Amino acid sequence: MTTPADLDRLLDGWRGRPTVAVIDLDVLRENVRLFKTLISSTTSLMAVVKADGYGHGSVPIAKAALAAGADELGVATVDEGTRLRDTGIDAPILVLGPIGANERSRALSKRLTLVVSDLGFARGVETDKQMLRLKEPVPVHLKIDTGMRRFGASPEDSVEIATFISASPHLELAAVMTHFAAADDADPAFTLDQTRRFSTVCETIRAAGVTVPQVHLANSAATIRFPDLFRDRVRVGIAMYGLQPGPDIDLPDGVKPVMTLHSRLGRVFSVQPGESVGYGRFWNAAKPTMAGLVPLGYADGYRRHGSDNFWMSVNGRRSPVLGRISMDQTVVEVDARARKGDPVIVVGDGTDGVAPTLNDLATLIDTIPYELATGLVAPRLPHLYVQQGELVAISDASGYREVNPTALG
Ligand SMILES: Cc1ncc(COP(=O)(O)O)c(C=O)c1O
């Protein structure tokens, strides 16, 4: 495990931009292991690594998750899946989102599994499979829209599509799936409604003589809240990163945030009564105030909406943001002990009792940790990957590179 002393050593040795995201792969692995023990042995765990691993970096996260026991990966786009395949990842990869017809053959040639929700698309997969001269039938997952009203076949169309897939010598109906709209809602009624609708459609498909080998429904919130809904596979995204799927959902014991955000004071200065700080002059000093400049702004995903209530931890002290967060710089209030170069924890893991977590910041600006995490991306914000106290990979302006590839699994 990476200790605070390891982290200090690592950040002291870092010669790049002073503002970095630290991704603790030991924490990620432990989170995956905890979810594996939570689900039954007959349920497989899909690690959802879309949106560049929710901002954490899809390649190292996927490798670490698989090494810790994840069975397969979920992405949103063909590009995301291709990136994983091209780094040598061999595990099954399901493209969860809708894709363009023009991307289909590339997806098949990369052995990405596709989600089908209409007959035209299923026919297109058939044609592409023949064009590519693939020998084996192509596995597809049929997605049913049970109430999300986004992507998926209507319950009425599902039987026809399932029958078509199962009758095709070129396709294999690998699974039938749906996605919950409100699994994080305190009231489980809609989730249970969706589940009932899903079960009814699956029964109708079976009654039409089609074998449904696997079914899957659960995202993070459902995996944490509804053990009855594990079925053949759970698709865990946000909670694997140690972030809450909803404000009222506690993570399982031991699941912790994987990403923390660090910087250093670039300047310490005093602001006198009558002076203001930052664009628009929204904060004015009522008394002499010590200020510290942090080289981080909304272009790094540190959201401008937080100008009024975000804070950081400087030398263990809660340091509120002063004035507007700008594109590349933020000013915080510091105390008289603060010096240029002092370490700043912009986002912590909740253990030091001072630094905010991503969940805290999301709540403050009325958004969800999903949106914040997916905005904190490399290369602008260098990502340092640590494992057993050592730097194992870096993603920054020079690209993604593994310092110690064997350590990643
Ligand atoms: C189809 C599907 N399954 C699973 C997930 C993972 O959701 P979560 O991050 O809430 O676990 C997503 C993400 O939105 C998704 O689109």
Return the best residue to mutate from 96, 143, 151 for the ligand 1 pocket (most ligand atoms within 8 A of CB): 96
What is the distance between the alpha carbons of residues 195 and 304, in angstroms, rounded to a whole number? Answer: 39
Does the beta carbon of 245 lie inside 6 Å of ligand 1? yes
Cα of 351 vs centre of ligand 1, distance in Å, is 27
Amino acid at 407: A
Domain map (residue ranges) of the chain? 26-241, 259-402
Structure confidence by residue, pLDDT tens digits, 299-328: 999 999 999 999 999 999 999 999 999 999
Does the beta carbon of 307 lie inside 6 Å of ligand 1? no
Cα of 237 vs centre of ligand 1, distance in Å, is 6
325-343 per-residue burial string, b: 16 or more CB within 10 A, e: under 16: bbeebbbbbbeeebeeeeb
Q: What is the mean pLDDT of residues 37-50?
A: 96
pLDDT at 167: 98
Does the beta carbon of 220 lie inside 6 Å of ligand 1? yes
- Ligand 1 atom index nearest CA of 221: 10
Amino acid at 383: H
Closest residue (by CA) to atom 13 of ligand 1?
237
pLDDT at 123: 98
Residue of 129, 143, 256, 279 with catalytic role: 279
17-47 per-residue burial string, b: 16 or more CB within 10 A, e: under 16: bbbbbbbbbbbbbbbbbbbbebbeeebbbbb
pLDDT band per the 50, 70, 90 thresholds, residue 40: confident
Does the beta carbon of 219 lie inside 6 Å of ligand 1? yes
Residues 192 and 200: beta-carbon distance below 8 Å: no
Return the best residue to mutate from 75, 219, 226 for the ligand 1 pocket (most ligand atoms within 8 A of CB): 219
Among 352, 373, 206, smallest CA distance to 303 is for: 373
pLDDT band per the 50, 70, 90 thresholds, residue 408: confident
- Ligand 1 atom index nearest CA of 220: 11
- Ligand 1 atom index nearest CA of 177: 1
Does the beta carbon of 53 lie inside 6 Å of ligand 1? no
What is the distance between the alpha carbons of residues 266 and 365, in angstroms, rounded to a whole number? Answer: 26
Return the best residue to mutate from 72, 77, 177, 179 for the ligand 1 pocket (most ligand atoms within 8 A of CB): 179
Quick count: other Cβ atoms within 10 Å of Cβ 102? 9
Cis bond upstream, residue 356 (ω within 30): no
Does the beta carbon of 293 lie inside 6 Å of ligand 1? no
What is the distance between the alpha carbons of residues 269 and 344, in angstroms, rounded to a whole number? Answer: 16
Cα of 236 vs centre of ligand 1, distance in Å, is 7
pLDDT at 333: 98
130-149 per-residue burial string, b: 16 or more CB within 10 A, e: under 16: eeeeeeebbbbbbbbbbbee
Cα of 260 vs centre of ligand 1, distance in Å, is 22
Closest residue (by CA) to atom 9 of ligand 1?
237
Closest residue (by CA) to atom 16 of ligand 1?
96
What is the rounded radius of gyration, in angstroms, for the C-alpha atoms of the chain?
24
Q: Which CATH superfamily is domain 259-402 in?
A: Lyase, Ornithine Decarboxylase; Chain A, domain 1 (2.40.37.10)
Structure confidence by residue, pLDDT tens digits, 201-254: 999 999 999 999 999 999 999 999 999 999 999 999 999 999 999 999 999 999
Yes or no: domain 26-241 corresponds to CATH 3.20.20.80: no
Does the beta carbon of 348 lie inside 6 Å of ligand 1? no
| Helical packing angle, 189-207 and 155-167, nearest 10° | 40
pLDDT band per the 50, 70, 90 thresholds, residue 133: very high
Cα of 187 vs centre of ligand 1, distance in Å, is 19
Structure confidence by residue, pLDDT tens digits, 352-367: 899 999 999 999 999 9
pLDDT at 327: 98
Structure confidence by residue, pLDDT tens digits, 88-121: 999 999 999 999 999 999 999 999 999 999 999 9
Cα of 321 vs centre of ligand 1, distance in Å, is 33
pLDDT band per the 50, 70, 90 thresholds, residue 65: very high
The percentage of residues in the chain with a pLDDT greater than 90, rounded to a whole number, is: 97
Closest residue (by CA) to atom 8 of ligand 1?
237
Structure confidence by residue, pLDDT tens digits, 150-188: 999 999 999 999 999 999 999 999 999 999 999 999 999
Closest residue (by CA) to atom 6 of ligand 1?
237
**Catalytic-residue membership of 50:** yes
pLDDT at 280: 97
Amino acid at 343: P
